[in-house]
């Protein structure tokens, strides 16, 4: 039986993933025993949501540090006085949408971040939701034959499909000051296509749609049919939850078992978020 919570209230969002937490004020230091419960809820539900957290970037950083050492993002300048926090801004006349496709954050890095924390400062009147998909559920729903076929198989991941010269991030018009470090764009790494979560021991499908290029030791052409199937399967509606932002909402997701998708359905409106990533391990 699941251990009960003493200090926080945990409200699961649907049958797939995600829970909203009550009884936590992130403007104040979070006690160890409360942190233990928050961490447990995160591992159990994969994404945490908090509402009405009117906190400073420094307080967001303090809270994120409870989950591990903070990471950096290679493509966007952070806040000048808070280098761990990256502003994600979409202006009303801007068509470019950061994170607008299913993915697990920077899965093209040798050690992708284990978690991402996003806080809403300004949100559209309508639209701008974020979708999340449970990759444990996606793996578990595969047939025994497919699981056997994927066991031990690795795939090549790269940023070049989105950040390369013909990628979406280069072609789209956007005022966000995207940096273009060539080493980060061109790097290719290989990761298991099914990873084992280092804290829960559960297996999750690891197909970050825009970053996965091909299976290792196979051509793109040979890989494409199975990868296309897996990428579609990974985000079937029954594995997903859609989060509607309000100002001062926070989401914290586990990139080791979750993909997410920022919707681009609010042309003419502004959206401003503060994003922090937390360092992870090499996927195994």
Q: Which residues are catalytic?
A: 103, 105, 260, 275
Joined together, the tokens standing for residue 21 give: 């937490």
Contacts of 178 (CB under 8 A, 6+ apart): 75, 76, 163, 169
21 binds ligand SIN (CB under 6 A): no
Strands 47-50 and 250-254 turn out to be antiparallel
Question: At residue 60, what are phi and psi to the nearest 5 degrees?
Answer: -65, -40
CB of 153 to ligand SIN, least distance (A): 26
Residue nearest to ligand SIN (CB): 99
Q: What is the CA radius of gyration of the chain?
A: 18
Nearest to 117 by CA among 173, 170, 183, 71: 71
99 binds ligand SIN (CB under 6 A): yes
Comparison of 5 and 167: residue with beta carbon closer to ligand SIN: 167
- Residue 59 Rama label (left phi>0; alpha psi -120 to 50; beta): alpha
Nearest to 116 by CA among 258, 270, 284: 258
CB of 169 to ligand SIN, least distance (A): 12
The residue written with tokens 């403007």 in the block is 27
Question: Distance between CA 225 and CA 217 in Å, rounded?
Answer: 15
CB of 29 to ligand SIN, least distance (A): 26
In the list 189, 193, 273, 276, the residue contacting ligand SIN (rule: CB under 6 A) is: 273
Comparison of 53 and 116: residue with beta carbon closer to ligand SIN: 116
Comparison of 98 and 169: residue with beta carbon closer to ligand SIN: 98
Stretch that binds ligand SIN, among 20-28, 97-105, 200-208, 223-231 (CB under 6 A): 97-105
CB of 253 to ligand SIN, least distance (A): 9
Joined together, the tokens standing for residue 30 give: 């979070």
Give the x/- contact pattern for ligand SIN in 115-154, rule: CB under 6 A: -x-x-----------x------------------------
- Which positions lie near ligand SIN, rule CB under 6 A? 88, 98-99, 105, 116, 118, 130, 260, 262, 273, 275
């Amino acid at each position: 039986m699941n251990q009960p919570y003493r200090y926080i209230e945990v409200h699961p969002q649907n049958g797939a993933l995600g829970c909203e937490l009550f009884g936590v004020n992130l403007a104040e230091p979070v006690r160890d025993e409360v942190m233990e419960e928050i961490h447990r809820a995160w591992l159990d539900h994969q994404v945490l949501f908090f509402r009405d957290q009117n906190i400073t970037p420094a307080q967001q950083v303090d809270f994120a540090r409870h989950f591990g050492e903070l990471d950096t993002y290679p493509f966007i300048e952070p806040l000048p006085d808070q280098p761990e926090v990256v502003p994600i801004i979409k202006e009303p006349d801007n068509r470019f949408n950061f994170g607008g496709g299913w993915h697990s954050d920077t899965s093209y890095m040798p050690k992708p971040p284990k978690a991402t924390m996003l806080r809403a400062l300004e949100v559209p009147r309508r639209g701008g939701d974020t979708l999340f998909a449970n990759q444990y559920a996606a793996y578990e729903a595969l047939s025994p034959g497919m699981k056997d076929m994927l066991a031990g198989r690795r795939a090549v991941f790269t940023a070049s499909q989105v950040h390369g010269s013909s990628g979406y991030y280069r072609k789209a018009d956007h005022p966000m000051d995207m940096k273009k470090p060539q080493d980060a764009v061109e790097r290719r790494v290989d990761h298991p296509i099914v990873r084992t979560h280092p804290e829960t021991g559960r297996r999750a499908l690891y197909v970050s749609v825009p970053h996965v290029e091909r299976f290792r030791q196979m051509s793109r052409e040979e890989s494409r049919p199975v990868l296309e199937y897996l990428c579609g399967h990974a985000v079937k509606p029954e594995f997903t939850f859609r989060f509607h932002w309000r100002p001062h909402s926070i989401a914290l997701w586990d990139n080791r078992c979750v993909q997410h998708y920022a919707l681009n359905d609010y042309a003419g409106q502004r959206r401003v978020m503060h994003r922090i990533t937390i360092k992870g391990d090499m996927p195994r």
